[in-house]
Chains A and B, each alone.
Chain A
Amino acid sequence: MENKITVTIDGREAEALPGQTILDVAKAQGIFIPTLCYLDCTTKVGACRVCCVEVEGARSLVASCCMPINPGMIIKTDTKKVRNAQRMIVELLWASGDHNCLTCEKNGACELQNLVYWLEIEKPRFRIDSPGYETETNNSMISRDLNKCILCGRCVRACNEIQVNEVLDFMERGSRAKVGPAFDADYINSQCYFCGECVEACPVGAITFKQARFKGRPWDLKKVKTTCTYCGVGCQIDLNIHDGKIIKVTGNRDSREPNNGSLCVKGRFGLDFVSNPDRLKTPLIRKKKGGELEEATWDEAIAFIAKKFKDIKAKHGSDALAGLASARCTNEENYLFQKFMRAVIGTNNVDHCARL
């Protein structure tokens, strides 16, 4: 329907749709352009300019993430001019904060660190000035270290445009500019809903998952995609596993639906119960009414139940037995449960608590 536009990018001709940005076209062509402030599904602010490219006829370098293509545009992404500009930007960002990778939780997954490496920067050219903010660790879910903030604004847009929670914003100006909840409050003292969208949006180690601190390097973590256990939305989540434990939960962005990588506080921070020491670990039997529950083997427990169920069925009929299945168990388990009640016990006395 729409007329395609042809542009030239790094010497090759590419077709694209009007309204697409240079960055979009490059991505489609498999050409890497670094970005920092760009965040999918949010306003393109063109703030960091690390995505700059050369466009023939343009007076200066342009930010590819927010520049729409024009017919016949000739774009170069890897000229000396582009790389020098990118190096300058990255080095200034590096110098503007306390980017000490040795202790940073983001080490190995940091976009700034990756850019320093990708641009082959040997050592920082400028003196590193830590802004001297105190790190925020007074809640158990999200840590903030604004000394590492590069002011890309991704957290602000994630909060306002993706989750529409409207909690985070920029404050102050110039060298004192910072991001956070209104009135410079800590998260715990703000309206923050702890969805964690800002943590996932942060390209550096400024906003991180508190409970994951020192629990495993990014390259140690194995992600297992699954469905959240809380409400009926069925968010697709990644359990980040290390040493047989859930270290943190991130949104799965491969599946656009239903949640496109966004989560709420329950799915994100509500899985402590899984490793709670009070989890049941062995069958228990109360041998006589009024007695105590005692540990038993599976064999004992199953035999005990089977005998009782059979006796009651023989003496009082199938309808003297009933079962409650669960809105928290799987389809397979609910299917098997009602099949068991119907085909093995012989009753339709099966229901679940979802009415409640």
Chain B
Amino acid sequence: MAGLAAAFGSGAMTNSIAEIEHTEVILATGTNTTENHPIVGMMVKRAVRQNGAKLIVIDPREIDLVKYADIWLRQRHGTDVAVLNGLMNVIITEKLFAKEYVDARTEGFEAMRKVLEQYTPEYVEKISGVPAEDLKKAARLYAGANKAAILYAMGITQHISGTDNVKSCANLAMLCGNLGIEGGGVNPLRGQNNVQGACDMGALPNVFPAYQAVTNDELRQKFEKAWDAKLDGKVGLTIMEIMEGALSKKIRALYVMGENPMLSDPDLSHVEHALKNLDILVVQDIFLNETAQYADVVLPSACFAEKDGTFTNTERRVQRIRKAINAPGYAKADWEIIAALSDRMGYPMEYKNAEAIMDEIRTVTPSYGGITYERIEKDGLQWPCPTPDHQGTRFLHKDRFTRGLGLFHAIDYIPPDEMPDKDFPMVLSTGRVLYHYHTGTMTRLSAGSTERYPESLVEINPADAARMKIKDGQMVKVATRRGAVKVKALISERPYEGAVFMNFHFHEVPVNQLTNPALDPIGKIPEYKVCAARVEAA
């Protein structure tokens, strides 16, 4: 998000999902789309099979999309910047870039061009393992299209170079004039259904709703007036810093709504200590999850089917959820619980219903200014939608970037924080599988998902398996500098030789005890996608 915001002035997905089906070239990188966003994957496949679109997949794993791809660039884990720089090197060398667009709409080109000089296809091949000829072909294909869409997901962001990776995607798209047009864009696919909305609503330490900085006096005063309260002007702590703070007793109380940091944090024993060290931990959730086990107070909440409200999807579309059934027992909607607590703390929050909250959101969130429940009764609206007669925005940055000119960033490749060595000779990467979601709290209770994918598996390339004498279905030990787990092997061509892949859906196999908590310095996202590991028969 930080990467796109720096380049364009807005961190959101630039275009709409439906446009993918009708574009000329799709470049999918760091997204296992058919498993993690199956409906977007469906559009990509239809574009290829039915509408003649060309597909470039850049991914270390042989994901399903590879079957539909015209070109597959299989880079080593964590070498994304090198590959993207290589594509741009070819595009500039062969003069395939959109010169007029670059001149008129962007800045920073020269500085970037200088850095790119070094990234010849041959040099990139050395770093990434992607054959120079394939790289050239992909560059020509992407640059040759009138409109081309880049899709990415956590395979791009969950690296110490995550923000750099995103900026590189932005560079590539701007270089070819693919922003501000239908069917183009740089399109992050959000993993959780309301990540976009949580960010839009200011569930971030540095901004109020609609990314209005807490440090800006004028904006803060606006909120002080709207909320009739004195507000703090310094940036707060991120989740990682909050956990650090709990360890040092700087943080004494933590209120967790609908999250399970005990499973999703990159360094679990660290989190456990942090949570135990708090004076009070309040967990509000639908289940007594791993985090709730450490809570002093647990509050039962209603799930999405039991309440009214809105979610904002990855393409900025604000859509309704509706109460279909009653919540179990005494469980209440999260907003009702917050309001009750606020009342008790002497700040009355009197909202009749969820709609009344949206009516307030609209007044302080310019991009949501025109969004009402009445208007989104049938179809959602895509922000920015500033006024009641605005039809919403299908793609961003038309004629002008949110920040004015699009900004190129000169970016050098930096290797992953931890590279394979003698003791830990393999690369471990993590992600999701089709049948499960996140920490598995919901999907693992579904008969269907459990039947289809009942237990955690580690994907191992047949060549590695043969060398280590590991058979399909056998238990193996996967160890990194931080810990070790036992897990069943799945012999598969998907990971390349020397790499293994695990998912993080099963608490019995806590992959996060293995992963490297090294953070992207800007995005503060841990490097879940690469660390050094050792695999052996258990």
Contacts and interface: CB of A to CB of B under 8 A. Distances in A.
A266 B435 contact: yes
A344 B18 CA distance: 41
B195 to A, nearest CB: 4
A351 B244 CA distance: 14
Interface in A52-75: none
Interface in A282-307: 282-286, 289, 293, 298, 301-306
A282 B332 CA distance: 9
A306 B341 contact: yes
B475 interface: no
A253 B496 CA distance: 40
A335 B435 contact: no
A139 B324 contact: no
A351 B309 contact: no
A271 interface: yes
Interface string B310-324: 111111011111111
Contact of A355 (B238, B295, B301, B317): B238
Interface residues of B, number: 148
A20 interface: no
A329 to B, nearest CB: 5
A281 B300 contact: yes
Contacts of A228: 193
B197 interface: yes
Contacts of A351: 203-205, 236-239, 242
B361 interface: yes
Interface string A302-320: 1111101110100010111
A132 interface: no
Nearest to B357: A332
Contacts of A262: 39, 42
Contacts of A305: 255, 280, 282, 297, 341, 344
A344 B323 CA distance: 28
Nearest to B238: A351
A234 B317 contact: yes
Nearest to A233: B39
A231 B232 contact: no
Contacts of A328: 192-194, 258-259, 304
Interface in B195-228: 195-206, 208-209, 214, 223, 227-228
B38 A280 contact: no
B42 A163 contact: yes
B437 A230 contact: yes
Interface string A329-356: 1111111111111111011111111111
Central interface residue in B227, B280, B323, B448, by most chain A CB within 10 Å: B448
A249 to B, nearest CB: 10
Contact of B329 (A254, A265, A281, A321): A281
A16 interface: no
A252 B307 CA distance: 19
A326 B322 CA distance: 18
A323 B193 contact: no
A327 B288 CA distance: 18
A164 interface: yes
Interface in B19-72: 36-40, 42, 45-46, 49-50, 68
Given A246-B305, A330-B310, A298 B330 contact: yes
B341 A350 contact: no
Nearest to B40: A233
B331 interface: yes
B17 interface: yes
A232 interface: yes
Contacts of B253: 308-309, 312, 320-322
Interface stretch (B129-137, B400-408, B418-426, B523-531): B523-531
Interface stretch (B110-118, B173-181, B439-447): B439-447
A286 B313 CA distance: 37
Nearest to B203: A325
Given A232-B189, A348-B205, A286 B232 contact: no
A113 interface: no
Nearest to B227: A343
Nearest to A341: B255
A195 B194 CA distance: 22
Interface in B307-359: 307, 309-315, 317-326, 328-335, 338-342, 344-347, 349, 351, 354, 357-358
A257 B443 contact: no
A302 B304 CA distance: 22
B109 interface: no
B202 A335 contact: yes
Interface string A246-259: 10000000111111
Central interface residue in B198, B206, B357, by most chain A CB within 10 Å: B198
Given A140-B447, A235-B39, A293-B298, A337 B338 contact: yes
A351 B214 CA distance: 14
B225 to A, nearest CB: 11
Contacts of B78: none
A43 to B, nearest CB: 10
Contact of A324 (B239, B324, B326): B239
Given A324-B261, A328-B258, A349-B251, A265 B434 contact: yes
A283 B335 contact: no
B208 to A, nearest CB: 8
B303 A139 contact: no
A352 B239 contact: yes
A332 B305 CA distance: 15
A192 B180 CA distance: 38
Q: Rank and list the top 8 A-B pairs by shortest CB-CB distance, nearest first.
A: A281-B329, A234-B313, A348-B236, A330-B309, A232-B190, A326-B258, A264-B38, A280-B300
Given A233-B189, A308-B280, A320-B253, 13 more contacts: A193-B38, A225-B320, A227-B321, A234-B311, A280-B328, A283-B330, A319-B232, A326-B257, A331-B311, A331-B318, A342-B208, A356-B264, A356-B528
15 contacts: A140-B448, A224-B322, A226-B305, A227-B304, A266-B436, A305-B341, A320-B253, A324-B257, A325-B198, A327-B197, A332-B357, A333-B338, A336-B351, A346-B231, A351-B236
Interface of A: 139-141, 161-164, 188, 193-195, 211, 224-236, 239, 241, 244-246, 254-259, 262-266, 269-274, 276, 278-286, 289, 293, 298, 301-306, 308-310, 312, 316, 318-344, 346-356
